[in-house]
Amino acid sequence: MGQNTVEVTEDNFEVEVLDSDLPVVVDFWAPWCGPCQAIAPVLEELGAEYSDKVKIAKVNVDNNSSLAQKYQVASIPNLVFFKDGEAVDRQVGFSSKEDLENKINNIG
């Protein structure tokens, strides 16, 4: 994972996401999910290119089901955009880098 991409679990979600000074894009994913694997490199690129504007957090739904339930993640990939500890936007399914850049710029 890139410098601005972190693996997040139920144990560190509050510190890494809710208490983050930067807006956070949380990628709810699973290893068996094809579209999740396809969007991962796009998120890595965005994390590197926008390292001063946003943090990318990855949550494996198989290992962190309570987080998936709390944020009503029914299908993956499911990107939830957080700002100041609040979920402010969401993208379900694969999305282009351009679309995700627009969302990042809107929350930044």
- Residue 70 · residue 17 · CB < 8 Å: no
In which order are the strands placed within the sheet that holds 55-60? 5-7, 55-60, 24-29, 78-83, 86-92
**What secondary structure does DSSP assign to 70-106, as a single string?**
HTT--SSSEEEEEETTEEEEEEES---HHHHHHHHHH
Q: Assess whether 36 carries a catalytic annotation.
A: yes
Single out the catalytic residue among 6, 24, 36, 80.
36
Active site residue 7: no
Phi then psi dihedrals of residue 44, to 5 deg: -60, -45
Choose, from 33, 87, 92, 107, the residue flagged as catalytic: 33
Residues taking part in catalysis: 33, 36
